[in-house]
């Protein structure tokens, strides 16, 4: 399957709200679009969708996932969501290369930071295989209660060491 990054339209954002993850992954389910609008989630705001979000689409323009890149002073924070039916099928490495390419193009020389729930061994394995390193494990309060997270970092290295 071939993926590419594109604009995250409002229709795509609304579609993401319908995705339902099973078992412990339910924690990644989005609330309803109206609830997210009422709570001012970034994905509901057109200017944020244009500046921070991208859709991941296949060759038939089907929505397969989404990414968010937030430009901080010294690094880029990324968030990634993959359509539930595509999880665990080996597409993670392809998507991570798209994300790294976009970050390298838009934010050259800035490291990439991501945070993933510590139980999500499947994602952590994918991120590790694509060059991310664990730099911290911590617990924090979330809207769904306390959660444990793994912070990972990817650094672009100049080819001229």
Q: What is the pLDDT of residues 34-57, one digit of tens each?
A: 999 999 999 999 999 999 999 999
Q: Measure Cα distances from 155 to 31, 34, 70 in Å.
A: 33, 38, 16
Paired tokens of 59: 């060759």
Task: Give the residue numbers spanning the domain of 53.
Answer: 3-154
Would you say residue 116 has pLDDT above 50? yes
92 occurs within a structural domain: yes
Residues 104, 127, 123: CA angle, nearest 5 degrees = 135
Would you say residue 109 has pLDDT above 90? no
66 occurs within a structural domain: yes
107 occurs within a structural domain: yes
Question: Rounded to two decimals, what is the model's pTM?
Answer: 0.89
User: How many domains does the chain divide into?
Assistant: 1
Tell me if residue 116 falls in helix, strand or coil.
strand
Q: 21, 85 in Cβ contact below 8 A?
A: no
What is the rounded distance in angstroms from the CA atom of residue 69 to the CA atom of residue 102? 9
Contacts of 44-52 spanning 24+ positions with Cβ under 8 A: 44/13, 46/10, 49/7, 49/8, 49/9, 49/10, 49/13, 50/7
Q: Measure Cα distances from 1 to 10, 59, 94, 122, 151 in Å.
A: 24, 8, 9, 20, 29
160 occurs within a structural domain: no
pLDDT at 142: 79
Paired tokens of 97: 């290369």
- Kindly report the CATH number assigned to the domain that includes residue 108: 3.40.630.30
pLDDT at 81: 94
Q: Measure Cα distances from 28 to 22, 89, 110 in Å.
A: 9, 18, 27
pLDDT at 144: 72
């Amino acid at each position: 399957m071939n993926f590419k990054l594109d604009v995250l339209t409002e229709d795509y954002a609304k579609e993401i709200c319908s995705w339902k993850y099973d078992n412990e992954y339910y924690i990644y389910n989005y609330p309803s679009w109206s609830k997210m609008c009422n709570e001012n989630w970034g994905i509901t705001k057109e200017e944020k969708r244009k500046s921070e979000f991208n859709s991941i689409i296949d060759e038939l323009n089907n929505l397969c996932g989404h990414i968010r890149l937030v430009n901080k002073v010294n690094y880029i924070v990324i968030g990634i969501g993959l359509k539930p039916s595509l999880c665990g099928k080996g597409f993670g490495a392809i998507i991570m290369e798209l994300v790294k390419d976009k970050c390298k193009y838009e934010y050259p020389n800035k490291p990439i930071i991501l945070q993933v729930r510590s139980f999500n061994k499947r994602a952590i394995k994918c991120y590790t295989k694509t060059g991310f390193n664990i730099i911290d494990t911590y617990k924090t309060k979330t809207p769904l209660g306390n959660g444990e997270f793994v912070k990972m970092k990817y650094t672009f290295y100049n080819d001229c060491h």
